[in-house]
Amino acid sequence: MSEISKIIGQRIRNYRTSKGFSQEKLAELSGCHPTYIGQVERGEKNATLESIEKISIAMGISLSQLFEKLGDNESENFPLKCYEFIASKSKIEQEQLYKMLVELDKYKNQ
């Protein structure tokens, strides 16, 4: 599949896990099949815009949020890479990572 399918799929997975939804729960809320959700998240399926809209509504995010900064040179966009990495973690892990970054910044500025 194309790189855009993989990026959108990863973003969907990140938002889904950050909301504490299983693939089955997201499928139920969006009216899509759980297997389809998994295929979209792995970038194996080229999802229709209608399906992407249903999924984004089910997660309570806008399409603009899902497609934000798409097309920028992502290989050099470190803030976006950091965001995507942190967004893929649980709330507890996100909090721990944030605290680590703050402490690292304090140490650096001493």
The CATH number covering residue 77 comes to 1.10.260.40
The Cβ of residue 37 has, within 10 Å, a number of other Cβ atoms equal to 28
Q: Judge contact between 59 and 21, C-beta under 8 A.
A: yes
Q: What share of the chain is helix, strand, coil (3-state, %, to 5)?
A: 70, 0, 30
Instruction: Confirm whether pTM is higher than 0.75.
Output: no
Domain range spanning residue 37? 3-108
- CA pseudo-torsion sign 28, 62, 52, 68: negative
Q: Average pLDDT of each block of 10 consecutive residues along the chain (110 residues)? A: 84 90 96 96 92 96 87 68 81 91 88
Q: How many domains is the chain built from? A: 1
